[in-house]
Every structure is written in C-alpha cells, then in structure tokens.
Amino acid sequence: MILGLIEHDRGMLNEMSLEMLTFGRDLANRLNLPLEAVLIGEGANALAEGLQAYGVSKVHLVQHPRLDDYAPEAWAQSVVELIESEKPQAVMASGTDRGNEVLAYVGARTNLPMAANCTEVEPGDPYTVTRVRWGGSLLEEAHLTGEPKLLTVAPFMIPVEEGEAAGELVLNTVTPALDDKDFRVRVVERVKSTGDTVSLTDARVVVGGGRGVGSSEGFESLDELAALLEGAVGCSRAVTNQGWRPHADQIGQTGARIAPDLYIACGISGAIQHTVGCKGAKQILVINADPEAPILSKAGYAVIGDLHEVVPVLNAEIKKLKNQ
C-alpha cells in the first residue's frame, strides 16, 4: 500500500494534504495498491471520514495522551511504527515545513533516503522521481531507492482531484510507544500574529514592489493601492536587503509563496528567486520602466513607465470610481 501523512494543526486540515493524496492515489492506481492515510493525534479523528473522497481506503488513527500538539519527532516515530507494522511501499507527505520535517526525521530514524518536493513519480526499483530545485526554477530527475520509498509532494503543483475509494472506510487505531525524547521538540506556546491586515498568502490582490521603488517612503503609493483594492503589499528580496520593508513582506524562494487572483508587480525586474514565489498568481500586471524586464514574460498585462508616476494616478482613478 501507499501511505500518506495527513498534515493538520490541532484538527485543522492543511489543504496541501489533498494535493498529496491526489498524487498518492495516482501512484497507488498505477501499482494496483490501496491508498491509506495516517492521522496523528486524537484531535484529528474527525478528518478521517472526509479522506475517502480522495481515494483513501483505510485511515490509521495514531492516539497517544501526549500527542495533543505538533511534535516532529513524535510524529516521525508514529510513522516509523506504521512502516514496521504495515510495510507500505511508499510513504509520502506534503512538501511543507512540517511535511518535509517529519519525513526527514523518518528518513533519519530508518536510515533511508528521502526525496523532497516531488512533482512526478515513476514506480519501479528504484523509483524515478522528478523533484524541484532552486525553489521551483529548476527540475531534477532522480533515482530514489529504499524500502519504503520516502518522498514529499511539491506544494501548488498537483491540482486536487477527488476519486472515491470503493467499500467501507476502515479505521485502525494504534498507540505508538513514545518516550520523552520524542517530545523534546514540541510547540510549548503559540503567539498569534498581530494586526488585522490581510496576509500576503491569503490576499486576493497583492501589490509588490522591487528595487525600482527606491526607498521605504516610495512604498506609500503602493500601500495606498493595496488598501484601495483590499489587498496586501509584498516586495522582492532586494527591498528587504535594503531594509525598506520587513522580511515578512518578502515574496519568493526564501519568503512567502503567494497565490492571489491578481499580482501587481511594480519596479520588479523578475529574478527567478522572486518569480517562483508568485507562480501561483492567476494574473500578473507589471508596472515597470524597463520594457525588457524579465518579469514581463510572466505577465498578462504591462504598463511601461515609472511606478512613481503611474501608481499615484492609478490610485486617483480608483478613488474617483469609488466615489461615483
């Protein structure tokens, strides 16, 4: 069977897990093997039923009194015990912070290789996987050995599709043997993000600024545009390196991955480290003085001009419209 680790935060499903299940179901179908899932912690039990619609025939419910919050080593040990008892051919998770972290621990504990952020898999021995490098600007074809094969699925690459499993959903409750060491790394406290502004990753519209903005004051018109469109402001790495905006606003390989309906990129040339972060945008509008800027090849619309001249006029036009 193929085993998928479902990621959740105290019972809240991470939607990336559905991408992983879509990917896993495709592999399971080609191998004529069942797709099974693992849910760690009692708080996640309620999620089990919903997984059948994605092709899961059996869910392993890992219960332990201390599994009330995320603890990477305890999660990994739970998966390791399932590997021993259920002998899956492959174990997969989402290529998220937590998914990569847990599978890396599984790899360390079983002394098996792990392929992070795969976009394709061709079964066999070894598996041939395609995985992302450079945050998605380059792909690698690689051979993955091991029994079982350990891999994570690159986020935002697999469109979620349902595909119901036949028969009754089987639930298997297990209690792993976990010790203090498995809980030495665990969340001891949570601090809510402050502010009531729209977050970059949730915003429908993102206004991005690059080196061309020129200063932190230069972002004023961008802030205004974002406010008018009820969106969020982001920026390129060049901007955070200059200290014009906080790192939390950075979009790209080492910052946020955004997926808005519209991304308005102002004064951004379009280095790959930035564009991999806005791949998820449905539409890109570029405002740039340089008609040769690489970002134009990613955009649906472009205005050639100095953002400091264009954006204030645009803001005035939008205000006019809103006042009508």
Q: Are 21 and 56 in contact (CB under 8 A)?
A: yes
> Is residue 310 close enough to count as binding another protein by CB under 8 A?
yes
Using CB under 8 A, which residues numbered 223 to 262 contact another protein? 228-229, 231, 237, 240-241, 243, 246-248, 250, 253-255, 261-262
Q: Are 3 and 38 in contact (CB under 8 A)?
A: yes
Query: What mask, x for binding another protein by CB under 8 A, covers residues 80 to 99?
Result: ---------------x-x--
Distance CA 59, CA 39 (A): 7
> Is residue 318 close enough to count as binding another protein by CB under 8 A?
yes
> Is residue 133 close enough to count as binding another protein by CB under 8 A?
yes
Residue at token pair 């014009």: 244
What are the C-alpha distances in Å from 184 to residues 7, 72, 187, 244, 267? 20, 9, 10, 38, 46
Distance CA 41, CA 241 (A): 41
Distance CA 294, CA 24 (A): 35
Q: Are 107 and 149 in contact (CB under 8 A)?
A: no
- 290: closest CA among 212, 225, 222? 212
Stretch that binds another protein, among 80-88, 162-170, 211-219, 311-319 (CB under 8 A): 311-319
Q: Between 48 and 296, whose beta carbon lies closer to another protein? A: 296
Using CB under 8 A, which residues numbered 140 to 179 contact another protein? 140-146, 152
Q: Between 57 and 275, whose beta carbon lies closer to another protein? A: 275
Q: Between 78 and 240, whose beta carbon lies closer to another protein? A: 240
Please tell me the count of residues contacting another protein according to CB under 8 A. Answer: 101
| Out of 17, 117, 221, 236, the residue judged to bind another protein by CB under 8 A | 117
- 266: closest CA among 284, 245, 248? 284
Which amino acid, residue 179? D
Q: At its nearest, how many Å lie between another protein and the CB of residue 45?
A: 19
Which amino acid, residue 182? D
Q: At its nearest, how many Å lie between another protein and the CB of residue 84?
A: 17
Using CB under 8 A, which residues numbered 173 to 212 contact another protein? 184-193, 204-205
Kind of pairing between the strands at 8-9 and 149-153: unpaired
Greatest distance between any 2 Cα atoms in the chain: 68
Distance CA 216, CA 111 (A): 48
Stretch that binds another protein, among 54-62, 83-91, 128-136, 167-175 (CB under 8 A): 128-136
Q: At its nearest, how many Å lie between another protein and the CB of residue 135?
A: 7
Q: At its nearest, how many Å lie between another protein and the CB of residue 185?
A: 5
Using CB under 8 A, which residues numbered 283 to 302 contact another protein? 283, 285-286, 291, 294, 296-302
Using CB under 8 A, which residues numbered 4 to 63 contact another protein? 9, 12, 14
> Is residue 281 close enough to count as binding another protein by CB under 8 A?
no
φ and ψ at 237, to 5 degrees? -65, -35
Q: Between 32 and 297, whose beta carbon lies closer to another protein? A: 297
Distance CA 95, CA 119 (A): 10
Q: At its nearest, how many Å lie between another protein and the CB of residue 65?
A: 20
Q: At its nearest, how many Å lie between another protein and the CB of residue 151?
A: 10
Q: Between 175 and 246, whose beta carbon lies closer to another protein? A: 246
